[in-house]
Structure 1
C-alpha cells in the first residue's frame, strides 16, 4: 500500500430533496445522545466490478438526498448548543468524490490493508470539526479504482447515532439507490423508516457538554491490528469456553473472553476492566426495533478483582461467566435509569461509578469493547452487489477492541488497538495464535 494515493475530484453538500416539515426542523437529543462521545464513527465498504463510476456517483448523490428526508438529523447541525440538531434545508451532508491512482486495485487494498492508510485515504473526515457553519453530522466519500471497484467511506457523528442506527441508515440509503435503478425515484416504496423514540424514553437533561474520553497513557503511540476467526476456530473456541453445566456460549462471548484473557496476561499483577457497549433496543419492555434512531446503548463494566487473579490467567469459562453476569443485568429497569459518570461523561450503572473514578488514579487498566456482529453491513447493496469487505479503520488514544462479522456471516474479524508495547506481546500470545490468524 506504500504506492497508494487518492485524488480528490470534488466536494459538495447534499441537501434533502424535500423541505423539512415544521415538526422536524429541530431534533432534540436524548439523554443518551447527550452523553455520547464527540467523535465520528467511520465505515468503509469495498465493492468490486462497479461499471460506469460517474453514473454511480450521481446515483449515490440522488439517493442520499432522498434518504436525508427521513434521516433528517444527518442533514442538520448543532447551533450553539449540544442538546438539539437544527434542521438542514440549506446545510445537508458532505459528499466527496475521489479516485485511486493508477496501478492499485481494490484487491490490493483488501488483501493487505494498512489501517492508517485506509483512514487517511478512504474517509472524508478524521476528527470532529467545528466552525461558524456548525458541525457536519454525516460525510461520505466514494472512491473509484481503475479496476472498476468502489470504496464507500461514511463518517457518522456519534453524537446523534450509534452503530445500529448508522447501519440502518446505510442500508436504507442503499435500498433507495437499488430501487431507483429498478423502479425510478418516483415509484419508491421502502418499508421501515426510522423512528425517533430516544428523546421520549430518555429526555435530555441539564448536564455539562460531553467531551472526548480522557487521553489514557498509551506510551509511544498506538497500533491497530486485525485478528480473524474462521468457523472452525470459533467452534473450537466456544467448546473450550463452555462449562458442562452451562449453555453453549456465543461466538461473541467466547471471543470477548479470549481477548480479555490475553489482556490479563499482558500484566497479570494489574486489575483489568472491560467496558462493553450494550444495545438496549431489545432489552426494553416493550422492545424497540433496530429502526429506532439515536444512541440507544449503555456501557457495562466487567471488573476482575486483582486478588482473585493475581499472577494467574483465569479460565475462559470463568470469564464468560463474568461477562454474562454483567450483561444480564441490563434489563428494562436498568436500561431506563440515567446515571452519568462525571469523569468520562458516559451512562453507567451506579455501582460502577466508583470503579471508573479509580481510572484517574491509574489503579487499573481499562479497555473498551464493542461488538457489531449481526449488524447487516454485508447486506448494504446499492444495486451493484454486496461488499466484499467492510471495515472500521480507527486509531485511538485509549485501548479498544471491535468485533465485526466476516462476509460469510460466520467468521469474526477483531480489530485491536493497543499501545505498541502491549501489541508486541498481545499478538504473540500463544492462546490467541492457536485460534486466530493475524492479518
Structure 2
C-alpha cells in the first residue's frame, strides 16, 4: 500500500505542480519540479487506539513536523508523512504552506491523489491556477446535536436558517471568551470565495479565501454573537477583489489579524472550518478515512472545526487551543459541557 501511495503521490504532483516547486519570498513559487519533503515512518501501535483517545502530542508525531511553526522556514510548499501501524492501518500526515494554498486546495489535492491511487480516472481533479497551549477535542452529543444550537438561533433572532458553522462558532466563541475572562474579543473566520466569484471554480487552487471579523464587548449571550457573525459573513464584499486594487484588498484583509494581535487590548479568537470540505472522500483504494483531524498547532486561542465522522447526524468536531489556565476553566464550564462530549 505504501508503494502505491508513493507512486500515486508523484503522479498527483504532476497535476498540482506548484506543490513540487520552491518558495521564493512570500508570494512567488518557482515551479521547478524539485519535489516535496516525503517521509515514511513505522509506529508500534494500534491505529484504532489512537482514534479512540487522541492526544495532540501523539498526533503531532504522525505529521512531518511537530508544530506548524517549522513550515515558515521551509522552501518546500508541501510535506507528506506516511505512517504504517502494526495493525496494518496507515496514517497520512500532510503539512502545506499557507503562503501557497488554503485548506480547500489541500483537500482537493488529497482527493486527486486518492483517485489516482485507486485508478479512478473519472474522479480525477484538474486544478485551476488562475487564481504555548493545550488541545481539547469534543463531539456534539447525540441527544444534544448541533441542530439544538441552530434551533435556539432561529427561535430568538431573525436568522431563518443559520449554518452549522455560524452556530458552533458563536457558541464556542462565547465559551472561550468566558474561559479567557475576556472583556473584549474578536472572532476571525476565513470564508471560501470559490463560487462567489464567477472566474473561480470548485477546483481553483490557491489561497482563495477572505477573513471576516466580528467584535464582542463582553456579551454574555452567545445568540448575540451569532447575529454579529452572520452579519459579518453577509457583509463580505468579494466584488472589491475584482477591481484594480484587488491584490491590495486581499493583502490588507490577510494582514488584519496581525494588526489586531499587535493592539493587545482584545482577545483574538481564530476560527477555521473544514466542514463540508471533501476530506472524507479521499479513498485511496481500500476505503474512505476513518478519521480526519488537525495536528501541530501551537498558537493559542485557535479553534478548528471538522465534520464529525458520523456526518449524517450533523455533528461537528472541534479542536480548541487555549492556555492551560483557560482550558481548565473551559473544561469546567457547564454550558459548554451541556452541548459537548469526548474530551481528549
TM-score normalised to structure 2 length? 0.89
Q: Secondary structure at the match of 2:325?
A: helix
2:169 aligned with 1:225? no
Task: Indicate how the Cα distance of structure 1 residues 94 and 264 shifts in structure 2: closer, same or farther if over 3 A, else same.
Answer: closer
2:239 aligned with 1:333? yes
Task: Indicate how the Cα distance of structure 1 residues 346 and 228 shifts in structure 2: closer, same or farther if over 3 A, else same.
Answer: farther
Q: Is the 8 A contact 2:173 2:269 kept in 1?
A: no
Alignment of 1:9-158 (within 5 A): 56-79=1-24, 81-89=25-33, 91-101=34-44, 104-119=45-60, 121-126=61-66, 127-128=70-71, 130=73, 135-158=75-98
What residue in structure 2 maps to residue 193 of structure 1?
Answer: 126
Structure 2: runs of 5+ lacking an equivalent: none
Alpha-carbon distance in 2 for matches of 1:74, 1:357? 29
Task: Indicate how the Cα distance of structure 1 residues 423 and 335 shifts in structure 2: closer, same or farther if over 3 A, else same.
Answer: farther
Task: Indicate how the Cα distance of structure 1 residues 303 and 129 shifts in structure 2: closer, same or farther if over 3 A, else same.
Answer: closer
Q: Secondary structure at the match of 1:347?
A: helix
Alignment of 1:263-282 (within 5 A): 263-266=176-179, 270-282=183-195
Q: 1:262 aligns with which of 175, 184, 201?
A: 175
2:317 aligned with 1:317? no
Q: 1:391 aligns with which of 289, 293, 301?
A: 293
Higher helix share: 2
CA RMSD, Structure 1 to Structure 2 (Å): 2.3
Task: Indicate how the Cα distance of structure 1 residues 129 and 436 shifts in structure 2: closer, same or farther if over 3 A, else same.
Answer: closer
2:340 aligned with 1:436? yes
Alpha-carbon distance in 1 for matches of 2:36, 2:180? 45
**Structure 1 residue 290 displacement after superposition:** 2.1
Task: Indicate how the Cα distance of structure 1 residues 171 and 356 shifts in structure 2: closer, same or farther if over 3 A, else same.
Answer: closer
Q: Is the 8 A contact 1:338 1:347 kept in 2?
A: no
Q: Is the 8 A contact 2:141 2:340 kept in 1?
A: yes
Q: Is the 8 A contact 2:139 2:341 kept in 1?
A: yes
**Structure 1 residue 375 displacement after superposition:** 0.5
**Structure 1 residue 244 displacement after superposition:** 5.7
Give 1 or 2 for the bigger CA radius of gyration: 1
Q: Is the 8 A contact 1:367 1:400 kept in 2?
A: yes
Alignment of 1:156-305 (within 5 A): 156-179=96-119, 188=121, 190-198=123-131, 221-230=132-141, 232-242=144-154, 243=156, 245-266=158-179, 270-284=183-197, 286=198, 288-304=200-216
**Structure 1 residue 417 displacement after superposition:** 0.3
Please give the per-residue CA displacement for 1:206-252, whole angstroms capped at 9, x wherever unaligned. xxxxxxxxxxxxxxx31011111145421222212222643032211
Please give the per-residue CA displacement for 1:67-126, whole angstroms capped at 9, x wherever unaligned. 1111000111024x333211233x21222111112xx2111111111111210x211134
Q: Is the 8 A contact 2:112 2:124 kept in 1?
A: no
TM-score normalised to structure 1 length? 0.71
When the two structures are aligned, how many residues end up with a matched partner?
Answer: 333
Q: 1:402 aligns with which of 266, 288, 304?
A: 304
Please give the per-residue CA displacement for 1:150-201, whole angstroms capped at 9, x wherever unaligned. 1111111211110000000000000000117xxxxxxx45543000122xxx
Alpha-carbon distance in 1 for matches of 2:71, 2:200? 29
Structure 1: runs of 5+ lacking an equivalent: 1-55, 181-187, 199-220
Alpha-carbon distance in 1 for matches of 2:260, 2:238? 28
2:332 aligned with 1:421? no
Task: Indicate how the Cα distance of structure 1 residues 151 and 83 shifts in structure 2: closer, same or farther if over 3 A, else same.
Answer: same
**Structure 1 residue 338 displacement after superposition:** 4.3
